[in-house]
Amino acid sequence: MKAQNAIRLVIIAALASLVSCVASERGLGRYRQSEVLKKETPVISNKKPQSVIEVTQRPTAETPILKFRAEAKNTDYIIREYDKLESVEQVITYKPLVTSGWISALAGLAYFVVNPSPDPADYEESKFDELNEDKLTNRRIGLGLMGAGVVSYFAGKSKPDRMRVVEKPVGIIQEKIIRNPETRPKTFTAKIKGYASSAISDSLSEDGSGIINADEIISSAIGSETSLPENITLEIQLDTGEFKLVYWTIADAVAFMTRGKTDWSKAAPDLTPRLTAAIEMPEIAQAGESVALKIIISNKECKGEASRLVARIKSSEDLFNRSVLIGYVKAGEERAFTETFDLPKEWASREIPIQISFQESNNNVPDAIEKILLVKELPQTAEETSFSFPLTYIILIIIVVLTILSLLLVLKKKKS
């Protein structure tokens, strides 16, 4: 029995040494889906297929982007399950072999020492032979433990630590496969309700996701309107017929459209502001140049506050017809807005009258301003001059030369 127990001890010590070789491990945060299918479950629906639109990201003044997902409901599909694998970095060390080695060696030495050969004088011959055989077996086991311990000790000392990266399952990834994909929406149309010109169309991604630039679609709807509504409704419609309405206040809509630069809240009409306006722009510009028109609004003479202020730029040239949303102007505040206009290169010289008028929520507006911009056409370059006239002359010269050669040929034939 003692021999069997000792053998078990040796085996347990060896196994413990092998298991403890993985000293530590840490997840690297890198995941992937296993390629081996773990489970597959079919789901059959008896209802009419339809799609549900879910807004996954609402626009803000800083990021005016709306994201949504159109998920197909009541469709037949298959759920496939795969292991979610994480890359794990393991430190493989052989130091436990050193520890278990000297422990095994000491245990073997102790086992050898406590099992000395018996004294023949103290036992009968039959008893002595039996006891001596047991002691001898135990000493051999002790020597075996010491040998195994020494080997384990030096094996651990001779091998440096190393690292390895393995993959371990940390969860389940489910994949939903639609069995009747023709019912899944593929495109969408979005528009600001009541403004047909703002309509846009785009494709959905494979997972049914769509993106709408709220600032662009709102600007295309109300950017040039003379009066703004109190609320804005965005309508998203799928090619399968389902739709969703998204509601915004006009203050939110203006914040999206101007990236938060314009406050469209409404001031109380208790105190009356006194607004003054000034315009800074060049008097003369050349075709092909950019013209900057700076509008300066001042509210420094009264304690009242102006709100929802709009500057309307009007001209006989459509290029200059534009609305500038100024918004809230506090008492004692001065605000400036700059609009840039790119003049076409092909414009001829002309005078362009420009008028700037204003609208405000409580009709507290500054006086309108009129300006005249003198546009000068681009001078004709030497390259254009040398290219347009000589070409005509060259053609005429070629015609004359050909005519003379023809006459000479005719005369030569008559003489011959």
Per-residue pLDDT tens for 54-71?
999 999 999 999 999 987
Average pLDDT score over residue span 19-38: 81
Instruction: Compute the 3-state secondary structure of the chain and give helix, strand, coil in percent, each to the nearest 5.
Output: 30, 40, 25
- pLDDT of 277 higher than 80: yes
Q: How many CA atoms lie within 13 A of 98 on its CB side?
A: 9
Is residue 19 scored above 50 in pLDDT? no
Exposure of 39 in the CB half-sphere (CA atoms within 13 A) = 7
Least confident piece of the model among 135-144, 173-182, 188-197, 380-389: 380-389
Chain mean pLDDT for the chain = 83
Distance CA 239, CA 187 (A): 6
Higher-pLDDT residue of 191 and 24 is 191
Q: Comparing C-alpha atoms, which of 293, 6, 17 is closest to residue 154? A: 17
Taking residue 109's Cβ as centre, other Cβ atoms within 10 Å add up to 15
Report the half-sphere exposure of 201 (CA within 13 A, side-chain side): 5
Give the contacts of 88 (CB within 8 A, at least 6 positions apart): 25, 26, 27, 28, 165, 166, 167, 168
Task: State the architecture of 276-376 in CATH terms.
Answer: Sandwich (2.60)
What average pLDDT does this structure show over 342-354? 93
Q: What is the pLDDT of residue 118?
A: 75
Indicate the pLDDT class of residue 372, thresholds 50, 70 and 90: very high
Q: Which residue has the tokens 């809240």?
A: 265
Residue (of 21, 11, 14, 10) closest to 96 by Cα position: 21
85: left (phi over 0), alpha (psi -120 to 50) or beta: beta
Contact 353, 316 (CB under 8 A): yes
pLDDT grade for 382, boundaries at 50, 70 and 90: low
Is 68 in contact with 209 (CB distance < 8 Å)? yes
Is residue 108 a contact partner of residue 149, using CB atoms and an 8 Å limit?
A: yes
**Over 80: is that where the pLDDT of 239 sits?**
yes
What are the residue boundaries of the structural domains of the chain, listed by start? 276-376
Q: Would you say the pTM of this structure is higher than 0.75?
A: no
Residues 317-346: tens digit of each pLDDT: 999 998 899 999 999 999 999 999 999 999
Average pLDDT over residues 66-78: 81
